[in-house]
Structure 1
Amino acid sequence: MATTPGTLITVAPTGAELSKGDFPQLPTTLEELVETAVACEAAGASMIHLHIRDAEHRPTLDHGHLKAAVDALREQTSLVVQLSTGGSVHDPLEQRLTVLDAEPDSCSLTCGTTNFGDDVFLNPYGFMSDLYVQAQEREVVPEFELFDLGHVAALARLIDAHGLPFGGKVHVDFVTGVPGGMPGTPAALVAGVSMLPAEVTSWSATGIGRTHLPIAAAALAAGGHLRVGMEDNVVFARGVPVQHNRELVERAARLAELMQRPAMSTGDARALLGVKDRRPAA
């Protein structure tokens, strides 16, 4: 796995855990998502990881809401559009599979069940396998989410069972710092990277909350890419809340520039990930 000279910056703007009432700056409406996406692309993001909310700002996997978001972002930006298949921890497995009906460029595929705070994020192997095969059939590129070191082994099992994903590339994202998952430390991240199967072509990392900056620095130093956003972190610095996802993308882009691995274009990101171009013809 060669080090990529540029840095793929993914923005995860919303998530499913935070409430709009507690964080009014959280983008939950379609208009807010489009504005966020446009601003974050200008700041250096090349992929957006989406959780969708309904009219009451609650997490939803409703097809109409998902499809409207995918279409709007495809029309207004050139970002790689990735839909979460995790939804919220309470969504049933069969409904999570229907996310692919919205025809995203990419989808998340979490490689195992994990404790998630006081809840359980359920990802049994049969569900993972079904999602992998359906993504292959629909020509959607999965991003393999790794919350723990055991998930690295599960990723290798999926590849052995089903071959490479559509596009031939294998991109993974280490999600660190979730209570119940791997800690958000450079040591834990390096341990995970050292275990990656040979088929992996690129990887990124995110640190939840206060682990955000140490993980970003460690990922860049180790040749990885970055995921930032209010899904993972709503505090910019001690006592300073994040007001817009753009702030987190801008800081990530500055870090990447300092490391002489500047934020990559959306075109380079598409090549890195092997995604199918579903954008409307100009």
Structure 2
Amino acid sequence: MTTAPGRSPARTLITVAPTGAETAKADVPTLPTTPEELVETAVACEAAGAALIHIHVRDSDHRPTLDPVLLKEAVVAVREATDLVVQLSTGGAVTDPLEQRLTVLDADPDSCSLTCGTTNFGDDVFLNPWGFMVDLYRQAQECEVVPEFELFELGHVHALRRLIDECGLPYGDKVHVDFVMGVPGAMPGTPQTLLAALALLPAEVTSWSATGIGRTHLPIAAAALSAGGHLRVGMEDNLVFAKGQPVTHNKELVSRAAELATIMQRPPMSTEEARELLGVKERRAR
């Protein structure tokens, strides 16, 4: 790990996941699904303390899509409007075919998600077989894109160990993981589970964050900060700010995460600090 045992990083990487692929625009009209809404969200969340944005793209009917033109347009638009690290989801929707998910890196993001195994996902199955994981990892190395290894299960931690052994380190030689916790059917969003997962991490891991889905959002944020981790928040993962109070903008979740991190004396990282933490290649026009 990048910090000595028992010490936390001085600052906190805050990732915002503003949209996702599961929530319908008709059900949540404030969900940012258009290009204009995505850029406005990115600008506001950067100002609130986010340093990385995890993007799912929607089409003109607000449906999840992996259309290569729309992916590229999203990357370019957010990169032009902000200094955020731009990360594309390679998970898409759970129904997206594996071969289409392997085309995401053609959009030239700074980073991409790489889920380390198949998992139950509510009533569905999120498919990530071993061969697909290896193909995506090697493609990310070739494209000089930094993967974020998403871990939904304790077994995914072991799969990460296997990936590193077979494929080597990612581009930039940093290994950043995100624990996605509280998905129905996957590992529970509890501090005890988070600590168990941390104990299994390979020595090559240089940084980690945690995501609590739904009502596990705040407990996991508090546990992650206490254990020296970073945070992912956003309407992809949580639509309720407090009991009876829906989230109306992703910046609300980012601002609260930034406040929590600051109280813990680990204020939000700048985008430049995040790029150094993750080993991101410079793709911005200068």
Q: TM-score, normalised by structure 1?
A: 0.99
Say if 2:11 is the partner of 1:18: no
Report what 1:209 is aligned to: 214
Out of 112, 118, 121, the residue aligned to residue 113 of structure 1 is 118
Say if 2:259 is the partner of 1:254: yes
1:214, distance to aligned residue in structure 2 (A): 0.1
Report what 1:151 is aligned to: 156
Out of 17, 21, 31, the residue aligned to residue 36 of structure 2 is 31
1:111-153 superposed Cα distances (whole Å, 9 cap, x missing partner): 0000000000000000000000000000000000000000000
Structure 1 letter corresponding to 2:199: S
Report what 1:7 is aligned to: 12
* Structure 1 residue ranges (4+ consecutive) displaced by more than 6 angstroms after TM superposition: none
Report what 1:139 is aligned to: 144
Out of 182, 198, 203, the residue aligned to residue 203 of structure 2 is 198
Report what 2:244 is aligned to: 239
1:226, distance to aligned residue in structure 2 (A): 0.0
SS at match of 2:196: helix
Report what 2:85 is aligned to: 80
Counterparts of 1:74 and 1:239, CA distance in 2: 35
SS at match of 1:280: coil
Out of 267, 276, 285, the residue aligned to residue 280 of structure 1 is 285
SS at match of 1:169: coil
SS at match of 1:178: coil
Report what 2:135 is aligned to: 130
Counterparts of 2:110 and 2:146, CA distance in 1: 6
Counterparts of 2:186 and 2:222, CA distance in 1: 20
Report what 1:89 is aligned to: 94
Measured on the aligned residues, the alpha-carbon RMSD in Å equals 0.4
Structure 2 letter corresponding to 1:87: G
Report what 2:72 is aligned to: 67
SS at match of 1:279: coil
Counterparts of 1:256 and 1:78, CA distance in 2: 21
Aligned length: 281
1:225, distance to aligned residue in structure 2 (A): 0.1
Out of 48, 58, 63, the residue aligned to residue 58 of structure 1 is 63
1:4, distance to aligned residue in structure 2 (A): 1.6
5+ residue gaps, structure 2, are: none
Counterparts of 1:280 and 1:72, CA distance in 2: 12
Structure 2 letter corresponding to 1:119: D
Counterparts of 2:86 and 2:250, CA distance in 1: 16
5+ residue gaps, structure 1, are: none
Counterparts of 1:189 and 1:25, CA distance in 2: 31
Counterparts of 2:29 and 2:58, CA distance in 1: 13
Q: State, as a whole percentage, how many aligned pairs show the same letter.
A: 77
1:149-228 → structure 2 map (5 Å cutoff): 149-228=154-233
SS at match of 1:107: strand
Q: TM-score, normalised by structure 2?
A: 0.98
SS at match of 1:256: helix
Counterparts of 1:4 and 1:71, CA distance in 2: 31
Counterparts of 2:236 and 2:140, CA distance in 1: 24
1:221, distance to aligned residue in structure 2 (A): 0.1
1:6, distance to aligned residue in structure 2 (A): 0.3
